[in-house]
Structure 1
Amino acid sequence: MSVISSARSRATAAAPTRPANLPSLTGLRFFAALLVFFFHASLTDSPIPPNAPINPFAHDGVAEVFTTAFSKAGYMGVSFFFVLSGFVLAWASRPGERLTSFYRRRVCKIFPNHLVVFAASMLLFAGAAVTSVGHWLPNMLLLHTFFPQPAINLSVNPPSWSLGSEFLFYLLFPLLIVLIRKIRENRLWLWSGLMIAGMVGVQLVTRFLIPDTPKSAITPISDMQFWFGYLFPPTRVFEFALGIMLARIVLAGRWPRRIGIGVSVVLSAIGYAAALVAPFEYGFVVATIIPVAALICSVATADVQGRETWLRSRPMVWLGEVSFGFYLVQGVTIFYLRSLLGEATYSIPVAILVVIGFFAASLLGGWLLYRFVETPAMRHLSRSRKRPAAPVAIPSPAPATHDTLVEQSSAPTRS
């Protein structure tokens, strides 16, 4: 009996009550949103008809550099968010949690912000352009990216397309986490590689099997290729599943020490450069997925080890917290304000001020969403108002393996 008690004591002592908080990873989220902002601010063709230029620089050379430099930034930023979503949900998951509780929190996380920005978009510009209920209703319900027609999948608030993928991720997570928890630790890297292979496969299908006509108004490929390779939610599940596996890798202490934040930043620069020169479809995900994974894991590892990083400073954590709202409003802000300016372009100093104005307005809108929509919704709607049931005594657990301890850990990290 004493031997069993001793074993249980050692297992309990070895088991963390919950994984570490990840403030540096929260701060890093803002830079992903910032990549999307600069991508939209540098566009030569707006996704909103009549697809007028957004880039405000009059100097042709500067305008071209601005557009080229950020031409893959939005794709990398979105891929980062998809991988991070799986990582954070797995990090914070609690075995035995009720499905209704999980889905309630996820719905409260995305729908209030989405519906507010949806309404603002309809009032500001989309209402005049989107006259068919078949165009705007799928967007409101976050089903729009299951339709291949650009008039539907990029309707109302174009950046909201990514929420269609996130919504699918949330629906699949309870199943995926159960399956991924069954993977032995020594096979997590193999399965992670298979997820990356799946991403490559999606783009091979996009390039060689999906019709390449008619050409898209805003990309060098066809509308159908852009939809399948970038917008279609099932093709993005590989990134989300990879994030779940990466969380297990970090929790298990299997992330290589040599790949720290500095190395990950260098890899990100190399991956981004590769995206600039690779065939267009491979710039969506494939060229940057390994750097994105390395960056997330190295920053999370720094937090787990308690190392100080400037990303965990109070201003950066605040920016990370408002990043979801910032991401949702930056498209509407840029597209609408640019439409008020017409097709005018400006000298370099004035154009820089225009971009700064776009940023300030987007950041303000993001904070307003976070402060007055997202936070109250999560506080008042994400939990059941039913009186909790009386606690049930739980038998003392058997000695736990490391895998069991990983599965039972949880953290209040936001996604």
Structure 2
Amino acid sequence: MSERTAVGAPERGAAAVSARIPSLTGLRFAAALLVFGFHVHAENIFHDPTARWLLAFVFGQGAVGVGFFFVLSGFVLFWSGKPGMPARTVWRRRAAKIVPNHVVTWLIALAGIVYASPRGFNVVSSVVGLFLLQAWVPVQGVYFGGNTPAWSLSCEAAFYFAFPLLYFWIRRLAERHLWPVAIALVAAVLLVPVLVLPLPTSTAYWLSYVFPVTRALEFALGMVLARIVASGRWIRVGLLPSMLLCVFAYWLCAYLPGMFGNVAGTVIPIALLVAAAAVADIEGRWSPWRHPVMVWLGDISFAFYLLHQLVIRFVGKALHIGSLSTVGALGLTAGLLVVTVGAAWLLYNTVELPMMRLLRGRR
């Protein structure tokens, strides 16, 4: 699709009385918090077996939170489309959102690597990460190199580039085909872990969890769900049932074989939750996620997501976490959370917001 192709707003069905969906903003922080807890667990801060079991029970599957971000991105971008907006404007505005924070956190990660382990510095991996191409490389030291969470931005960058073309196709779908397409996308996500079964574990993991092409299925699903909601064809699954289903699926993923727990195990509950939260806001129904505190945390969640592992990594090395008691580990975890929230607020207000205003251009 030419960069001059216009992106238009979705139609608004009878149920879509408002374009504001603050619950999705609040849910962003919940997903980011799951990823935070997952990385705290991976750092082995807790050494007591009971404490480790509890942390694993709550946060052991936290990496699935990234799937929520991908479905959410597709939903929100489709929902917020503006009539006549050129594709290049979409790309510029998405770049204004993600690039400044990414560059700042990339520099922090680079400085940490050079300071702590100069011999561990890899020029190629660092450059690939800077330009958000790392998820395309099937080498863990590359796609998880530098600031590890930025691998998902590599996927998002690919999604944003493809968005105008995907938008064009999805807007042309007849309304009666929306649910069949959504079901087909879910089926494709469920098929991925089956197709990678014969492959080595490292390759299967990259293809099912990191590779932008397979993760784009979730982004496209979010876009289709936005059109389903906008056209008044939602199936009326409520917010509370979808939340409970997400909790159950999250727990179940720990017991799924192979790569099924990485993405496939939660794709349906996440899709239902995103759409149900949007419908709750549109219709003015109950939602805990649009509370002002949750919305504020959701606003800084992107900065929180990019900073959290850097905080965990740097503080952990500085304090020698291997010698902590369980009480000390609990205090450290709480401190890491507070410090990360504070750092995210600072990054959001000093980098993210000012650079978005500068780079996004006129509304």
Instruction: Report the alpha carbon displacement of residue 135 of structure 1 after superposing the two structures with TM.
Output: 1.4
Q: Any idea what the Cα deviations from partners look like across 1:247-276, whole Å, max 9, x if unmatched?
A: 01111122122x111101111122112211
Counterpart in the other structure of 2:346 = 368
Compared CA separation, residues 302 and 13, structure 1 to 2 (3 A)? closer
Contact map agreement 2:113 2:121 (CA 8 A) in 1: no
Q: State the superposition RMSD in angstroms.
A: 2.1
Counterpart in the other structure of 2:20 = 21
Give the structure with the higher percent helix. Answer: 2
**What is the alpha-carbon distance in structure 2 between the residues aligned to residue 136 and residue 13 of structure 1?**
44
Counterpart in the other structure of 2:235 = 256
**What is the alpha-carbon distance in structure 1 between the residues aligned to residue 73 and residue 345 of structure 2?**
21
Counterpart in the other structure of 2:99 = 111
Instruction: Report the alpha carbon displacement of residue 313 of structure 1 after superposing the two structures with TM.
Output: 2.0
Compared CA separation, residues 200 and 13, structure 1 to 2 (3 A)? closer
Query: For 1:180, which of 162, 170, 177 is the aligned residue?
Result: 170
Instruction: Report the alpha carbon displacement of residue 81 of structure 1 after superposing the two structures with TM.
Output: 0.3
Counterpart in the other structure of 1:287 = 265
Amino acid corresponding to residue 151 of structure 1 in structure 2: G
Counterpart in the other structure of 2:110 = 122
Contact map agreement 1:57 1:345 (CA 8 A) in 2: no
Counterpart in the other structure of 1:275 = 253
Partner SS, residue 283 of structure 1: coil
Contact map agreement 1:58 1:345 (CA 8 A) in 2: no
Amino acid corresponding to residue 351 of structure 1 in structure 2: A
Instruction: Report the alpha carbon displacement of residue 184 of structure 1 after superposing the two structures with TM.
Output: 1.4
Matches within 5 A, 1:88-237: 88-125=76-113, 128=118, 130-208=120-198, 210=199, 212=200, 222-237=201-216
Contact map agreement 1:26 1:320 (CA 8 A) in 2: yes
Instruction: Report the alpha carbon displacement of residue 65 of structure 1 after superposing the two structures with TM.
Output: 2.9
Q: Any idea what the Cα deviations from partners look like across 1:5-57, whole Å, max 9, x if unmatched?
A: xxxxxxx99999984201111111110111110010111xxxxxxxxxx1222
**What is the alpha-carbon distance in structure 2 between the residues aligned to residue 18 and residue 171 of structure 1?**
30
Contact map agreement 1:56 1:345 (CA 8 A) in 2: no
Counterpart in the other structure of 1:30 = 29
* Greater C-alpha Rg: 1
Instruction: Report the alpha carbon displacement of residue 306 of structure 1 after superposing the two structures with TM.
Output: 1.9
Instruction: Report the alpha carbon displacement of residue 243 of structure 1 after superposing the two structures with TM.
Output: 0.1
Amino acid corresponding to residue 25 of structure 1 in structure 2: L
- Name stretches of at least 5 consecutive residues in structure 2 with no aligned partner: 1-10
Q: Any idea what the Cα deviations from partners look like across 1:277-315, whole Å, max 9, x if unmatched?
A: 101411111111111011111110011012353322221
Instruction: Report the alpha carbon displacement of residue 59 of structure 1 after superposing the two structures with TM.
Output: 1.1
- Name stretches of at least 5 consecutive residues in structure 1 with no aligned partner: 1-11, 44-53, 213-221, 385-411
Contact map agreement 1:29 1:323 (CA 8 A) in 2: yes
Compared CA separation, residues 202 and 145, structure 1 to 2 (3 A)? same
Amino acid corresponding to residue 248 of structure 2 in structure 1: I
- The answer to whether the aligner puts 1:381 opposite 2:355 as a matched pair is no
- The answer to whether the aligner puts 1:323 opposite 2:301 as a matched pair is yes
Q: State the identity as a percent.
A: 37
Amino acid corresponding to residue 167 of structure 2 in structure 1: I
Compared CA separation, residues 134 and 309, structure 1 to 2 (3 A)? same
TM-score, length basis structure 1:
0.80
Amino acid corresponding to residue 143 of structure 1 in structure 2: L
Query: Runs of at least 4 residues of structure 1 off by over 4 A?
Result: 12-19
Contact map agreement 1:125 1:336 (CA 8 A) in 2: no
**What is the alpha-carbon distance in structure 2 between the residues aligned to residue 14 and residue 255 of structure 1?**
10
Instruction: Report the alpha carbon displacement of residue 164 of structure 1 after superposing the two structures with TM.
Output: 0.3
Instruction: Report the alpha carbon displacement of residue 316 of structure 1 after superposing the two structures with TM.
Output: 1.3
- The answer to whether the aligner puts 1:353 opposite 2:342 as a matched pair is no
Contact map agreement 1:118 1:156 (CA 8 A) in 2: yes
**What is the alpha-carbon distance in structure 1 between the residues aligned to residue 239 and residue 338 of structure 2?**
29
Contact map agreement 2:192 2:214 (CA 8 A) in 1: yes
Amino acid corresponding to residue 140 of structure 1 in structure 2: L
**What is the alpha-carbon distance in structure 2 between the residues aligned to residue 82 and residue 159 of structure 1?**
13
TM-score, length basis structure 2:
0.92
Partner SS, residue 156 of structure 1: coil
**What is the alpha-carbon distance in structure 1 between the residues aligned to residue 114 and residue 293 of structure 2?**
34
Contact map agreement 2:16 2:282 (CA 8 A) in 1: no
Question: Alignment length, in residue pairs?
Answer: 351
Contact map agreement 1:136 1:156 (CA 8 A) in 2: yes
Q: Any idea what the Cα deviations from partners look like across 1:72-129, whole Å, max 9, x if unmatched?
A: 1122x10000000000000001242112211110111111000000001111235635
Q: Any idea what the Cα deviations from partners look like across 1:226-257, whole Å, max 9, x if unmatched?
A: 21111111110100000000001111122122
Matches within 5 A, 1:41-60: 41-43=40-42, 54-60=43-49
Amino acid corresponding to residue 248 of structure 1 in structure 2: R
